[in-house]
Structure 1
Amino acid sequence: MGGVKAQDGDAREEARPLAGIVVLDITRVVAGPFCSMLLADLGATVIKVEHPDDPDYARSFPPMVTGKEDAGESAFFSQFNRNKLGITVNLKSPDGKELLKQLVRQADVLVENFRPGTMDKLGLGYEELRRCNPRLVYTAISGFGRTGPNSSRPAFDNTGQAVGGLWSMNGYPDRPPVRVGTIIGDLAASLYATIGTLAALRSAESTGNGQVVDVSQQDSILTLTENAVVRYTTKGEVAAPLGNDHPFVRPYGQFPCKDGYVFFGGYTDKFWRLTCEMFGEPHQADDPEIDTMEKRFDPEVADRKVKPLLERWFSAYGKAELEAMAGDRIPLSAIRSVPEVVEDPHVAARNMIVEIPVAGESVRMFGSPIKLSRTGEIPLGKAPTPGEHTRTILSEFLKLDEEEIRRLVDGGAV
């Protein structure tokens, strides 16, 4: 990428799987920034493109970090925009449009999460940009996708959860449905967009032709509904909220203990027998009402015989005690709070809590779940301030002289 380098760990750039790949990130909030962040974590050079007067409004999302260097920065924004370079470009100005095209000519990927048709209205849609670079992979993330009768509708994460079916399944059977407690629509769409981008890059490398990667939140959420679709299409069964229960596997869910709750999934005959032995009642495994997995799957039997046994056993112990007793033999895990997860020694051993500079302070946030045996851990850099690298990118990447840069700045293009 000309003379422009990733922010940290340049000495190891040759080991990065996506070293040399240039990504233009024209996205906001999470559905998009998370996708390009994953590519940056894998070594791609990601250039975050923001409007000079209207940057990504996630920069104002809490929690804010007030540090030594400035009035404050968003840790939320930093978590999804680490490892990126920052440039400001006014895509509505003629000079800004031309500048983006110049960037596209030297890029491999462009990621955007506007409503379908927005980039076309700007004169910067895929058909126009592919004239600049036939190898361009154009990744578009939206609520409903680029085709279909609902493609132009606005969408947020909750939209995806609502129209993808997941919201209707979540919660308790005697209460209204509940949204999943995280922005899973944004996150799932970003993950699929990352997979699609990598596949399209592989194709572009072999054919010389890029393509559009079209990912919708609704589509992404639909694939997370597990067995709900086939239960409906084969049996006419409609998935509904089950609380912490599984549609048919029992015992498999949340159970109270002395100091909280645990997940217990010992539903197979092997695990059930081991559990009965662990609690000093091996004869329970031979009870003719619950001695097979199929019998324990029966809802009435599970509520009358199995659940009371487990609650009696678990109530005498704390989460840590139960985990220690189960060890490597039985699927039992404490249901941890976020603080417990952040301080978990196993999470630390996996390097899943990393320190990233935010406003001059060191902030702990989640790391990369992708572990590569030969590459090892890739150093992670901070998120850019708005347009932090504009002059560097214009001069070193696009080779513009100071006079041209000054003209673009004075004209409001950057």
Structure 2
Amino acid sequence: MKTSTFSSRPTEHTATQGSETMNPTPELIKQLAGGSGALDGVVVLDLSRVLAGPFAGEILADLGATVIKIENPNDPDVSRGFPPYLSAGDEEFSAYYGQYNRGKLGTTINLAEPAGKQVLKDLVKNADILVENFRPGTMDKLGVGYETLAEINPALVYAAISGYGQTGSRSRRPAFDSTAQAAGGLWSMTGYEDMPPVRVGVVIGDISAALFALIGTLSALRHAERSGEGQLVDVAQIDSVLAITETAVVDYTVDGTVAKPEGNDHAWVRPYGLFDCADGQVFFAGYTDKLWKVSCELFGTPEAATDPEIDTMRKRFDEAVYERKVKPVVQSWFANRTQSELEEMAGDTVPLTALRDVGEVVDDPGTAEREMIVEADYGPMGTLKMFGQPIKLSRTPAVPNRKANRLGEHTDVVLKEFAGYTDDAIAELKNGGVI
């Protein structure tokens, strides 16, 4: 049925020196998935859905890996239906899906079918990484869990992102981003003390889990390249959220203090927050002795820097002293000046920046200078502008300005190039509803 045509590593998984285990990506695949990069030659099977897993896969693709997006032909990634949409006539395409699945090859496999399981196993033979974000136990139930796939490819790095992790009494619980924000303590810390808690405005549970999964996956890949030994990378959203709660954990374990909502203020660093100005608001941080002295001189109140009540950082941290002595001084600096005046006056000297909405950020020349808005051409449906890649590599730059796949768009070429399937074998799988 097949003959292998591509391998990302030596057949024998023995320890090797350096990064010579990776073979360059075949030219046909490069033409479809984009150019080379730091991860050229790394093959990723992305079985994930919605955001946490797809975001991790998107970054791997941006950095040069060949990422194969695998979806159930009868139950594709639900985010394909998320707004907003690019459209032309009756045709539409989810920009949400496009942003998190750019540069990936689209493949469909029905893992409920025995033949579908075999297709995945055949792809795993020549893969470096597999990413999934199903509820723990799902892949095992399908017969393609980590232990099974590791027998086929001992060097496989298997990244599993879930709500509560692969172990523990809560592991089988379903979870979304807000589950992690609630269970991880973050929700209780956000908002204002005299109001109900407020959810963080982005899916930080998904995003943090994606980034921690990437760190773990690339660490495990490095080990696999040296030893031929893969491993399971287990990342939980709730763990990821807990790990980004700053000092909340040590505040509790050392002093017994439970973190509470602080609004736009820091729990103890002062001045550090959002302040009103003539035409909006600015963020300002002048809490160190050096920044406080510079700010006082810059805004024409040098005497505040030597005032014995507020002349040291520790004194300014005192909440009562801050409210009585420091805050009125800072407010006087900003009240009659506009955002642009303040940035022009102080933005290059102290941490001071205007509070901007996303539209202003997208249109800001500084955003363009950092190539943080990129475009992908979707033909008649138009051009999709999306966020770029914040990781800037000087020798192997990322390539984020690419289209996302249509459902099953590259199934044939993936099975031919990565599993050696013939046209007849592919036709048989299609006729059987497997792909």
Asked if Structure 1 and Structure 2 have the same fold, meaning a TM-score greater than 0.5 normalized by the shorter chain, the answer is: yes
Equivalent residue runs for 1:194-213 within 5 Å: 194-213=214-233
Once residues 326 and 380 of structure 1 are traced to their aligned partners in structure 2, the CA distance between those partners, rounded to angstroms, is 35
Structure 1 runs not aligned, ≥5 long: none
C-alpha contact 2:63 2:397 (8 A) present in aligned 1: no
Residue equivalent to 1:102: 122
The number of residue pairs the alignment matches comes to 410
Report SS of the residue matched to 1:333: strand
1:122-147 per-residue CA deviation (whole Å, 9 max, x = no partner) reads 00001111111111111000000000
C-alpha deviation, 1:281, in angstroms: 1.9
TM-score (norm 1): 0.96
Residue equivalent to 1:53: 74
Residue equivalent to 1:38: 59
C-alpha contact 1:254 1:262 (8 A) present in aligned 2: yes
User: Is 1:5–2:26 an aligned residue pair?
Assistant: no
C-alpha contact 1:142 1:217 (8 A) present in aligned 2: yes
C-alpha contact 1:6 1:85 (8 A) present in aligned 2: no
Segment of structure 1 superposing worse, 321-330 or 48-57: 321-330
Residue equivalent to 1:74: 94
Residue equivalent to 2:316: 296
C-alpha contact 1:7 1:85 (8 A) present in aligned 2: no
Residue equivalent to 1:353: 373
Distance change (3 Å), C-alpha of 1:379 and 1:261: closer
Report SS of the residue matched to 2:88: coil
Residue equivalent to 1:92: 112
Residue equivalent to 1:400: 421
Once residues 81 and 180 of structure 1 are traced to their aligned partners in structure 2, the CA distance between those partners, rounded to angstroms, is 24
Once residues 60 and 202 of structure 2 are traced to their aligned partners in structure 1, the CA distance between those partners, rounded to angstroms, is 22
For 2:298, give the aligned amino acid: M
C-alpha contact 2:62 2:398 (8 A) present in aligned 1: no
Once residues 154 and 224 of structure 2 are traced to their aligned partners in structure 1, the CA distance between those partners, rounded to angstroms, is 9
C-alpha deviation, 1:188, in angstroms: 0.4
C-alpha contact 1:137 1:197 (8 A) present in aligned 2: yes
C-alpha contact 2:38 2:397 (8 A) present in aligned 1: no
C-alpha deviation, 1:400, in angstroms: 1.6
Residue equivalent to 1:172: 192
For 1:121, give the aligned amino acid: K
Once residues 27 and 287 of structure 1 are traced to their aligned partners in structure 2, the CA distance between those partners, rounded to angstroms, is 58
Once residues 284 and 256 of structure 1 are traced to their aligned partners in structure 2, the CA distance between those partners, rounded to angstroms, is 20
Segment of structure 1 superposing worse, 81-90 or 306-315: 306-315
1:62-119 per-residue CA deviation (whole Å, 9 max, x = no partner) reads 1111137x61111111100001000000000011010000010111111000000000
Segment of structure 1 superposing worse, 281-290 or 146-155: 281-290
Once residues 195 and 155 of structure 1 are traced to their aligned partners in structure 2, the CA distance between those partners, rounded to angstroms, is 22
Residue equivalent to 1:227: 247
For 1:51, give the aligned amino acid: N
Once residues 366 and 32 of structure 2 are traced to their aligned partners in structure 1, the CA distance between those partners, rounded to angstroms, is 26
Residue equivalent to 1:307: 327
Q: What's the C-alpha RMSD, in Å, of the aligned pairs?
A: 1.5
1:270-297 per-residue CA deviation (whole Å, 9 max, x = no partner) reads 2112212222221222222222212111
Segment of structure 1 superposing worse, 130-139 or 304-313: 304-313
Report SS of the residue matched to 1:255: strand
C-alpha deviation, 1:397, in angstroms: 2.6
Once residues 164 and 283 of structure 1 are traced to their aligned partners in structure 2, the CA distance between those partners, rounded to angstroms, is 45
Once residues 130 and 300 of structure 1 are traced to their aligned partners in structure 2, the CA distance between those partners, rounded to angstroms, is 60
C-alpha deviation, 1:331, in angstroms: 1.1
Residue equivalent to 2:307: 287
1:251-284 per-residue CA deviation (whole Å, 9 max, x = no partner) reads 0011011111111101112211221222222122
Residue equivalent to 1:185: 205
C-alpha contact 2:32 2:105 (8 A) present in aligned 1: no
Residue equivalent to 2:409: 388
For 1:171, give the aligned amino acid: G
Q: Percentage identity across aligned positions?
A: 58
Distance change (3 Å), C-alpha of 1:156 and 1:377: closer
Once residues 100 and 221 of structure 1 are traced to their aligned partners in structure 2, the CA distance between those partners, rounded to angstroms, is 32
Once residues 415 and 193 of structure 2 are traced to their aligned partners in structure 1, the CA distance between those partners, rounded to angstroms, is 57
For 1:76, give the aligned amino acid: Y
For 1:5, give the aligned amino acid: I
Say which of 261, 278, 281 aligns to 1:258.
278
Residue equivalent to 2:262: 242
Residue equivalent to 2:20: none
Say which of 137, 154, 167 aligns to 1:134.
154
1:367-391 per-residue CA deviation (whole Å, 9 max, x = no partner) reads 0010011123436321000000011
Once residues 155 and 290 of structure 2 are traced to their aligned partners in structure 1, the CA distance between those partners, rounded to angstroms, is 54
Structure 2 runs not aligned, ≥5 long: 7-25
Residue equivalent to 2:341: 321
C-alpha contact 1:17 1:375 (8 A) present in aligned 2: yes
Once residues 31 and 363 of structure 2 are traced to their aligned partners in structure 1, the CA distance between those partners, rounded to angstroms, is 28
Segment of structure 1 superposing worse, 277-286 or 192-201: 277-286
Report SS of the residue matched to 2:29: coil
C-alpha deviation, 1:8, in angstroms: 5.9
C-alpha contact 1:78 1:383 (8 A) present in aligned 2: yes
C-alpha contact 2:375 2:402 (8 A) present in aligned 1: no
